[in-house]
């Protein structure tokens, strides 16, 4: 039966994964599920371009705090803070978070302004794989600043099948 064949296939896939882990590798590779085509660094670049246009993104002013090693990718805490006086004349407008290996390159966006007092936000995100996360801050003077962080994920968020 088609159903049985599918689950056999999945079992083989899992066995292969275990073998990879046993061989000293981390759980890498694409999501187990055929539904979840993963983003690529190129897809991420395209998503970045969509929001920043032709603006130049410079590294700096953004601090991206995320664990270097996440036991699983279901809920990884992340703190983003930006050096900004957060005044009416000079403040952070938007913070964008991008993933290069999740099924979708866009993860979350925050819109803030001088009323925030401080440019610091926290949330928890999903990570489908070991990857580099990018945060880009768009300032009120149109400048764009970024930070990246590499996270090793030992259990992908895509493996949470029912």
Partner 1 sequence: MAQTRIVLPKTAKKGEIIEIKSLIQHAMETGHRRDNMGLAIPRHIIKSYRVTYAGEEVFRAELFPGVAANPYFSFTTVATVSGDVVFTWEDDRGTVVTETVRLTVT
Question: Where do contacts with partner 1 occur on this chain (CB under 8 A)?
Answer: 3, 6-7, 31, 33, 35-36, 74-76, 97, 99, 102-104, 106-113, 115-118, 120-126, 158, 160-162
The answer to whether 128 and 157 are in contact (CB under 8 A) is: yes
The least CB distance from residue 3 to partner 1, in Å, is 6
The least CB distance from residue 137 to partner 1, in Å, is 14
23 vs 109 by CB, closer to partner 1:
109
144 vs 158 by CB, closer to partner 1:
158
61 vs 126 by CB, closer to partner 1:
126
Q: What are phi and psi of 26, to 5 degrees?
A: -90, 170
The least CB distance from residue 23 to partner 1, in Å, is 27
The least CB distance from residue 106 to partner 1, in Å, is 5
The least CB distance from residue 150 to partner 1, in Å, is 17
Q: HEC string of the chain? A: CHHHHHHHHHHHHHHHHHHHHHCCCCCCCCCCCCCCCCCCHHHHHHHHHHHHCCCCEEECCEEEECCCEECCCCCEEEEEEECCCCCCCCCEEEEEEEECCCCCCEEEEEECCHHHCCCEEEEEECCCCCEEEEEEEEECCCCEEEEEEEEEECCCHHHCCC
15 vs 124 by CB, closer to partner 1:
124
59 vs 162 by CB, closer to partner 1:
162
């Amino acid at each position: 039966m088609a159903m049985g064949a599918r689950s056999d296939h999945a079992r083989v896939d899992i066995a292969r994964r275990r073998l990879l882990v046993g061989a000293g590798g981390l759980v890498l590779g694409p999501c187990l599920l055929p539904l979840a085509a993963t983003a690529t660094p190129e897809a991420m670049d395209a998503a970045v371009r969509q929001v920043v246009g032709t603006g130049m993104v410079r590294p700096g002013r953004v601090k991206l705090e995320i664990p270097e090693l996440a036991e699983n990718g279901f809920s990884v805490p992340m703190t983003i803070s930006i050096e900004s006086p957060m005044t009416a004349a000079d403040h952070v407008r938007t913070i964008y978070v991008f993933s290069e290996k999740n099924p979708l390159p866009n993860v979350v966006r925050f819109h803030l302004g001088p009323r925030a007092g401080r440019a610091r936000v926290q949330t928890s995100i999903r990570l489908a794989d070991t990857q580099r996360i990018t945060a880009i801050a768009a300032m009120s003077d149109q400048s764009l600043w970024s930070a990246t962080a590499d996270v090793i994920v030992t259990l992908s968020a895509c493996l949470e099948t029912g």
